[in-house]
Amino acid sequence: MVLESNLLGLQSIVPTLLILVKYSPLITSIANICLLVGMLYVYLERYLKVKSKFTTTLVLVSLLFLVQNILFSIYFIFNLPETPINAVLPLVFLGLEFTALTLLLMITRE
């Protein structure tokens, strides 16, 4: 059995996957930053045209989420989870935020 797993290369894949899981909250947080920069661009563009309270609020909310994700990224750079289990909970929250931001950006661009 050990010989078969060595032939398939599974022993070299598992450590790579564990490292990827440990870095996944940082990767997801950076993806959220990219989405938020896109949203902020769209909202600022609309704010310059409309200048309403609603667009001002959208710009401020985007900025707050952007600051939050930048702080999360800095935190994860200096405090990388020790085990993959410790990375799961932040990944769930950041993944849900990524999904929500993606949907919001899709609706915003229409």
How far is the C-alpha of 57 from the C-alpha of 62, rounded, in Å? 8
Q: Please name which of 52, 61, 48 lies closest in space to residue 105, comparing C-alpha atoms.
A: 61
Tokens of 27: 């990767």
pLDDT in tens, 36-94: 999 999 999 999 999 899 999 999 999 999 999 999 999 999 988 888 888 888 899 99
pLDDT band at 1; cut points 50, 70, 90: very low
| Whole-prediction pTM | 0.81
Indicate the domain borders of the chain.
2-109
**Contact criterion met (CB below 8 Å) for 59 and 47:** yes
Beta strands in 1-110 (DSSP E): none
**Contact criterion met (CB below 8 Å) for 35 and 101:** yes
How far is the C-alpha of 30 from the C-alpha of 97, rounded, in Å? 12
